[in-house]
Structure 1
Amino acid sequence: MFPADRQSHRSTFITAWAKAKAGQPLAPVEAQIVQIARMHPEYEDYLSDPERNLDRDFSPDSGQTNPFLHMGLHIAILDQLSVDQPAGIRRLHQQLVATTGDVHEAEHRIMQCLAEGLWRLQRDDHPFNDKAYLKCIKRAGGGLRPR
């Protein structure tokens, strides 16, 4: 879906934002990107200045959030929800939305679990652990039950 290299990946987001601002038609994934970007108005400067941000490093050590990674994780969650993979995530998401009263907050809670799972995957060099991911989402919702 997205290119593997950082510049091309970021260009996908920047191009979608530019097309939306110009009123041009968007492909479905571009529409998702724009929807997510609109939920994050603090990222507009990153999307509007490609020369400055295509190669920019965002260091978590200095408290910087990588807006492209953040929006990419939103897209990953939307993809998971669309096919209910891992099985049960859609129901947990719905319960989390009901618990928080906010779709965006629910996605951010899931995102923390996804980021943790990806970090463990890299650290431990093991396959992604769906069960641990769903348990984390359950904990993020205060005890939601995965099926």
Structure 2
Amino acid sequence: MFNPSREQVRQFFIETWRKHKARELLTPLEDMALGWILQHPEYHADLERPDAVEAEYPVEAGRTNPYLHLSMHLAISEQVQVDHPPGIRAAHDALAARYDQHQAAHEIMECLGQVVWEAQRLGTPLDNDSYLELLWQRAGQTA
């Protein structure tokens, strides 16, 4: 399993944005990431900061960490693409029908954040069943 460091994750998004602006060829993963970067223009300046790799985004500052946010978008896109956990694609589609693609991803992000936090708090693996249940609740349906 690929487990990049914080610096590697940041460099990936910074380089993807740089390549896009330079009109260079992107890998398929970079292309997927670029789609989310383009939907978040509020992060473009962060990706261009000279200190981008070292920048801090403390909760107390009241600002979302752009790299965490983009990483979650990318993780969710991959989950939906491969339908893992099984059923996430259908839940995504139900959310997208209720909202739109971007808002559906944000709804999923809230659920993912909740189950990740719970797993970390309890020291247990991520509970896919709880994750899907939360998604279906947000979609206004039952699984």
CA RMSD for the aligned pairs? 1.3
Instruction: Look up the match of 1:99.
Output: 98
1:30 aligned to 2:27? no
What is the correspondence of 1:44-123 to structure 2 with a 5 Å cutoff?
44-49=44-49, 51-100=50-99, 102-123=100-121
Residue 27 of structure 1 and its aligned partner are, at CA, apart by: 0.2
Gaps in structure 1 of 5+ consecutive residues:
none
Within 2, Cα distance between the matches of 1:96 and 1:5?
A: 31
Of residues 126, 137, 140 in structure 1, which corresponds to 2:138? Answer: 140
Paired residues, what number? 143
Residue 139 of structure 2 is aligned to residue 131 of structure 1: no
Give the whole-Å Cα distance in 2 for the aligned partners of 1:141 and 1:59.
31
How far 1:105 moved relative to its partner? 0.3
Shift of 1:4: 2.2
Please give the per-residue CA displacement for 1:14-51, whole angstroms capped at 9, x wherever unaligned.
001000000000000110111100000000001112x3
- TM-score scaled to structure 1, two decimals? 0.92
Separation (CA, whole Å) in 2 of partners of 1:141 and 1:97: 9
- Percent sequence identity is 36
Divergent runs of 4+, >3 A? none
